[in-house]
Amino acid sequence: MAKPNKKGPLRTVDIYCARCKTKLFKYRKGGKGALVKCFKERIVEDHTLTPCMCPGCEQPFARETLIRGTPAFKMIGGKVLMK
């Protein structure tokens, strides 16, 4: 399978913790569906201190994984909001 485009889409979205509403990422997202995964190379701003943990409530919101050979975060359902 092909790797994701490094530049990625131009549209950026803000990603927040669903529990405490702390801002986690600013991310270049493609498509119009739900946020299932975040490729690390497309994250514009990272507000987390430790990977996959919310800095506000210390709850995990994702898991680190490799998708098509590229490092990514796989989101846990219902743990993040996208605006």
Per the structure, the complete domain to which residue 24 belongs is given by 12-82
Q: How many distinct structural domains can be found in the chain?
A: 1
Q: In this structure, is residue 22 part of a structural domain?
A: yes
pLDDT in tens, 9-21: 878 999 999 999 9
Is 2 within the bounds of a domain?
no
Say if CB 24 and CB 81 are below 8 A apart. no
The torsion region of residue 78 among left (phi > 0), alpha (psi -120 to 50) and beta comes to left
| Residue pLDDT, tens place only, 11-63 | 899 999 999 999 999 999 988 899 999 999 999 999 999 999 999 999 999 99
**Within-domain flag for 49:** yes
Q: Which residues pair with 60 in a beta bridge?
A: 53
Quick one: average pLDDT of 57-81? 95
CA 31 to CA 10: how far, in whole Å?
11
In terms of Cα–Cα distance, which of 72, 63, 9 is closest to 40?
Answer: 72
